[in-house]
Amino acid sequence: MILCRVFVPTSSYAQEKVPFVPSEKDYEVVFIREGQRVVIPCRGSLENLNVTLHTKYPNKELHPDGKDSWWDARTGFTVPSHLISYAGVVSCQTRIGNETFKSPLYIVAVVGYKIYNLSLTPVEVRLSVGERLVLSCLAHTELNVGIEFNWTHSGQALVSAQTISLSNTLIVENVTVDHTGEYTCTASSGQMEKSASAFLKVYEKPFIDIEEPWLKVWEVNVEDQKSTQIPVKYLAYPDPSFKWLKNGLPLKEDYRIKQRSDALIIRGVKEIDAGNYTIVLINKITKEEQRRSFQLLVNVPPKIIEKEVAVDTDVHPYGSSPTLRCTARGFPTPALIHWQWMSKEDCPEAFSEIPLKKCTGWRDITNSSGHNPVDRIVTDTDHAQKKIVSSLKIKKAEARALYRCMAANKVAEDSRIILFHVTRGLEVSMLPSNEPVEEDHVALRCRADKLIYGNLAWFRVANISKSEQLASVQPCRSLTLQPPSQSVLATQHGTNVTLELLLPNASRQDEGLYACQVQNIKTKERTCLLRRLSLRGLEAARVVNNLTDQKVNISATISLLCDVAGTPTPTVVWTKNNHTVVEGSGVILSQQNHVLTIQRVKKEDSGLYTCTACNSRGCDTSQAFLTTEGTEEKTNVELIVPIGSVVIAMFFWLLIVFVIRGRKRPNGGDLKAGYLSMILDSEDMPMDEQCERLTYDANKWEFPRERLKLGDPLGRGAFGQVVEAAAFGIEKASTCTTVAVKMLKEGATSSEYRALMSELKILIHIGHHLNVVNLLGACTRPGGPLMVIVEYCKHGNLSSYLKSKRGEYSPYKKWVSAEEDSTDDDHLTMEDLISYSFQVAKGMEFLSSRKCIHRDLAARNILLSENNVVKICDFGLARDVYKDPDYVRKGDARLPLKWMAPETIFDRVYTTQSDVWSFGVLLWEIFSLGASPYPGVCIDESFCRRLKEGTRMRPPEYATTEIYQTMLDCWLDRPTDRPTFAELVEHLGNLLQASAQQDGKDYIPLTVGEAEGPPVTLDPRSPNSRPQSGEILETQLHYDKPPTLGLSEQSEKCSRPLSVKMFEDIPVAHSSVMVSGHTDCGMGFSPEEVKGLNQLQLQIPPSFSQLLRCKSKESLASESSNQTSGYQSGYHSDDTDTPIYANEEVIMKHNMLKKPPPPSDKFNMEIRYSTPPV
């Protein structure tokens, strides 16, 4: 059958009234696709109408062009889709005559084809046999897209669906094992197709299976920055429920702990997290359970508990037996606690609130020689509490020190530093003695430890009778206290504070009970220490038992006793036939001259003996006549014994002399550290004989021990020590002076005693000078230790002082007005440095005039006193050279090689000119503000060789050209070429005057004479310093010369070379390690190598001996670049206008005076000593 469509035109009325075919609906929907033509079905009842297409939203009119768009009465209006895809409603329109006709409205709907995404959920499905499978396939498309879904199972078509839907769901009831496999959903829009897959696993039954092996111990560190995750690997169907247990109890979850079935996550592990953990997995269908457990170990670094609860400073009474305790907790428990200690001298800053990191001299507790003896160490370990307790028992607390306990495990280590402070607590003493006499200058001294007590005050206790007895320590609230009318003097040193109540010319009115009130810093409790003052009445001296005449046989021994009484204690003097009896061979005065003993009485010992006792109230005498009997003929035995003793002694003496003369001259490695601070320069007399010939005047220098109060140690060495002390009446009768006391340690040998006694005699022989630490007195009488009393310098040694002032150095003084106090300026200036150098030169000039050689002139042996006065010293007994890095071991001795002249190193020759060399090194220390000489240079055999060859130190940072010129003068190779100390005094005086004039003031330094007169207090910085009346002054220095070394122009001494080699210019060659003692860089000198050094000087040409010494400023240049030396590259010499630079070779042609080396007898006046400095 053939169907034909016939177009039948309507009637004319219809043609005129309805040109478009009407629609049964009010509007129709027109679907359009992107990139295709769209037909709007506005068919017409007439042909050849002029039809246009109108759009709304937005309004637009489209005219057919016959190519892309046209109107046909049978189909409608054809137009490209992109022209109307934006429109909401379209319609056709035409005009017939004056009338406009419109077609029905058509709604434009855009139909898409893009599929953006296709998802199949769930992606992975696990089921057991008999369960239901549900898969949902969802397509995400653009608007108005029709989708067709197709399903496949393992590549085979499963479901065919022709309906268009945006989603499709696959449901399979009662799955079997055969349903296992991959399911694919394919979505198609006609122009685009996408697929998604899911996997189904069908198990025969539910199960749980935890994978093996299972790690049973987990180890982590406490507070680890990373989260700790402990995995649980298992297979199960269905997904099990779970729970975590800790030590058998449900684990509480907080913000740090996250619990999952497959892991336990702990963030920031803490010590409390350690324990036994259990994971429990439960099958939801069968209720089957599977468990696994593990132990979590949390490693905790050790921590010393006392650091949190105890103070850093432990205060212990002197002589007590305290116990220091350290308790360390950690996991694993530390195996042990290690103890170390450090003396206060090794770290003085520790007690000054300065960080302890600067102190590095820690020693093992087993090496506690010379300090607080250790009784025992007890260690107790408690593994359950994860702690270890170590107790260090001190046998006797004697001195301040630092103790450190250290605990460690495999995680970390911890330490605690304990400041071990020894205090004598509260102490009240009375001076000059515990039983003062009327008219004495009495001082009541209250001493307390400022770490414990404060607010000291003296009071007089009222309403207390003499018969009433009170305890020495009383609560102050129970006493009636009255302020005393006398003056008080407060002093403070170290950790002790002292308050003195001064009672000059004490009388009976001053008798009574006195109280020193102190306040405990922590408890604020006030305590009073009571001391009763009772004065002994004055009583004239009298002899209690008169002497009686005696008869004694020749060669016998007799003792005469002079028993005296009186107040003050009388002094006793013995005379024989009106001549004073002096102690000597066979004559002994003992018990403060009360007993006169005569041994081996001779005939001439007969006579009238008188005992005279005197005090301030009067004198008394007693006499006895001594008669001798018998003859002086000696028996054979009496002759044989002394003669035999003399012969044996002579034999051994001769044997020793021959042995000593037969041996080679001792080298530097065999020298032993001696005690004598300074050496007398004599021609050929041995040192011991020199000291034996020196005398000690006890009447002039002896000082009572009871008037000396020892304090804190200032220095400590292997055999001796120097302590601070208070001397009552050593300068004036009513004053208390701070002094320094040299004394031996306990157990000192007789040779060490003789050495200190020799030093005392040498100090007496030297005499008094402003710039030398002067002798004030001594305690030599039996009944106590030998003590040498010298001046105390409050600022300590110059080396440490300069280091402490490095941050306060300024080249010039600050200007102050006349009304301001210039002494408030604590800044260190160039004038101060020159002043220190000048004063040391003055002191050394004095010592050299007294035929004394110092042998260890260095900044550490220069003390700084009040008013910027420096004093030369050498506390040889107090310095332990085995611990001092400035002393290099050479054989069995420790020598300060950096300060020693070449002739001293190679020939063991000490002269005043070798002291001049050391003075040059001292200048380098001063103008580097305390730096160690030869920085960065290895002190070994190579150093000694290069020093002999003429290599010298570069100029220090703060030295001027004139100062460095002076150093080089002191370091000339030939000793006779070096300036004398007198020339150095004049030269440095000129520089000091020039420096002072830069500050706008005249500076005329005054010096004291060399006689043993009273000391002159001189402020080198003050223009107002003037001599006191009666003082003997040396010739004043004139400063009208240029600041150059003032040597005579006619002098024939040779000058140094114009180009100076410096240590920084030559690479340091490290020698092989030697077997003997160590130098500064681990090197040492064996006896053979010392011999090599002695031979080395024969191979070195005299680099300085052939150059003429210029008296003006010489031009200096380093062989390396100026940047290396830090010194001015060139300057004009006074002799020539040609500048000399470090980077060019300048040859100065002079007529040089060639002089032969000094003859062997040139040093005949020098002494070769067997004892080097310490």
Residues annotated as catalytic (active site), given as ranges: 856
The reply to whether 1130 sits in an annotated binding site is no
Cα distance between residue 704 and residue 686, in whole Å: 33
The alpha helices in 897-1042, defined as continuous H runs, are 902-907, 912-926, 941-949, 961-970, 981-998
Q: Give CA torsion, residues 748, 754, 759, 762, to 10 deg.
A: 170
Among 526, 511, 310, 322, residue whose Cα is nearest residue 426: 526
Query: What beta strand segments (E) does 681-754 contain?
Result: 708-716, 720-728, 736-744
720 is in an annotated binding site: yes
26 is in an annotated binding site: no
CA distance 785 to 791: 19
Is 742 annotated for ligand binding? yes
Q: Which two tokens stand for residue 159?
A: 């479901």
* 593 appears as a binding residue in the annotation: no
The Cα angle at residue 486 between residues 482 and 487, in degrees rounded to 5: 115
Q: Are 1049 and 1106 in contact (CB under 8 A)?
A: no
Q: Is residue 404 within 8 Å of 418, Cβ to Cβ?
A: yes
Give me 329's structure tokens.
Answer: 């907790």
331 in a known ligand binding site: no
Long-range contacts of 689-694 (CB under 8 A, 24+ apart): 691/757, 691/758, 691/761, 691/762, 694/758, 694/761, 694/762, 694/764, 694/765
The answer to whether 211 touches 232, Cβ cutoff 8 Å, is no
* Residue pair 762/676 in contact by the 8 Å Cβ criterion: yes
3-state secondary structure of 977: helix
- Tokens read off for 463: 């309403």
Query: Following CA atoms 544, 549, 551, 552 in sequence, which dihedral angle do they give, to the nearest 10 degrees?
Result: 40
Q: What is the DSSP string of 528-581?
A: EEEEEE-PBPPEEEEEEE----EEEETT--EEEE-EEEEESPPEEEEEETTEE-
Q: CB–CB of 937/947 below 8 Å?
A: no
Tokens of 152: 């496949």
d(CA 450, CA 611): 51
Long-range contacts for 546-552 (Cβ within 8 Å, ≥24 apart)? 546/622, 547/609, 547/611, 547/622, 547/623, 547/624, 548/624, 549/624, 549/625, 549/626, 549/627, 550/624, 550/625, 550/626, 550/627, 551/626, 551/627, 551/628, 551/629, 552/601, 552/626, 552/627, 552/628, 552/629
Is 874 a known ligand-binding residue? Answer: yes
d(CA 503, CA 731): 18
Q: Can you tell me the distance from the alpha carbon of 495 to that of 453, in angstroms, rounded to the nearest whole number?
A: 10
CB proximity list for 1053: less than 8 A, separation 6 or greater: 976, 977, 1047, 1109
Paired tokens of 725: 């002390």
721 is in an annotated binding site: yes
H or E, element range at 96: strand 89-96
| Distance between CA atoms of residues 373 and 273, nearest Å | 44
Query: With contact defined as beta carbons under 8 Å apart, do 768 and 835 qualify?
Result: no
How far apart are the C-alpha atoms of 26 and 567, rounded to whole Å?
A: 150
762 is written with which tokens?
A: 């040498």
Question: Do residues 541 and 569 lie in contact, with contact meaning Cβ atoms separated by under 8 Å?
Answer: no
| Three-point CA angle 809, 815, 817, nearest 5° | 145
The closest alpha carbon to 1002, from 1040, 956, 1030, 976, belongs to 1040
Q: Is 578 annotated as a binding residue?
A: no
Alpha helices in 694-817 (DSSP H): 698-701, 750-766, 798-804
DSSP character for 631?
A: -
Show binding-site residues for Mg(2+).
Answer: 861, 874
Show binding-site residues for ATP.
Answer: 715-722, 742, 860
